[in-house]
């Protein structure tokens, strides 16, 4: 599916934004003209942060932005432009990274060695790589498991 151009994204974002904002109250200090200009600014600012995406990815990012707004908006009036733009920045960046490198989308605290060492200590199933392969040696070198821990698994395999 082809990427959308700036104007196409603007129309889709505007329709999405109308639906999102309808769930909130217009800020009390906004008259009709100020509210209209705020919506125009929101569309422009959201769109300016959007990477080149197709319609499906745009819908996905906007759904994540709506979720971000619900989680971070402190009142019942419209979310701020800053809240919406932050949602775009957070989620668009993740999608771009995911397209380039799947490993980069893992949580920062993800450490396969720690996870599998814990599984070994708890006598839970692990891949053979962590029992016989370089993974086993890595766990030993890091002091995450002992040879005795691995012998239990090696005895089962033989």
Region 50-54: what's the mean pLDDT? Answer: 86
Contact 50, 5 (CB under 8 A): no
pLDDT of the residue at 108: 54
pTM for this predicted structure: 0.60
Looking at the predicted structure, is the pLDDT value of residue 103 above 60?
no
What's the pLDDT tens digit per position in 144-158? 899 999 888 888 776
pLDDT over 60 at 44, yes or no: yes
| Mean pLDDT (the chain, rounded) | 87
Average pLDDT rounded to a whole number, residues 103-118: 70
Percentage of the chain modeled with pLDDT above 70: 87
- With contact defined as beta carbons under 8 Å apart, do 61 and 92 qualify? yes
pLDDT for position 114:
85
CA 90 to chain centre: 7
Any idea what DSSP says for residue 111? -
Give the pLDDT mean for 117-130: 88
**pLDDT the model gives residue 85:** 95
**Cβ density class 51-86: b for 16+ within 10 Å, e for less:** eebeeebbeebbebbbebbeeeeeeeebbbeebbbb
Say whether pLDDT at 70 is over 80: yes
User: Could you give the CA distance from residue 62 to residue 59 in angstroms, rounded to a whole number?
Assistant: 5
């Amino acid at each position: 599916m082809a990427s959308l151009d700036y104007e196409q994204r603007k129309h889709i974002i505007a329709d999405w934004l109308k639906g999102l904002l309808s769930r909130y109250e217009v800020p009390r200090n906004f008259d009709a003209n100020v509210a209209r200009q705020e919506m125009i600014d929101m569309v422009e600012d959201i769109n300016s942060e959007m990477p080149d995406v197709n319609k499906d990815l745009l819908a996905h990012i906007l759904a994540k932005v709506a979720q971000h707004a619900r989680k971070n908006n402190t009142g019942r009036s419209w979310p701020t432009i800053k809240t919406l733009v932050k949602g775009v920045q957070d989620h668009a960046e993740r999608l771009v990274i995911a397209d380039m490198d799947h490993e980069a989308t893992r949580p920062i605290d993800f450490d396969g060695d720690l996870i599998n060492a814990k599984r070994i200590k708890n006598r839970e199933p692990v891949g053979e790589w962590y029992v016989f392969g370089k993974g086993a040696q890595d766990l030993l070198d890091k002091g995450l498991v002992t040879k005795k821990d691995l012998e239990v698994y090696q005895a089962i395999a033989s």
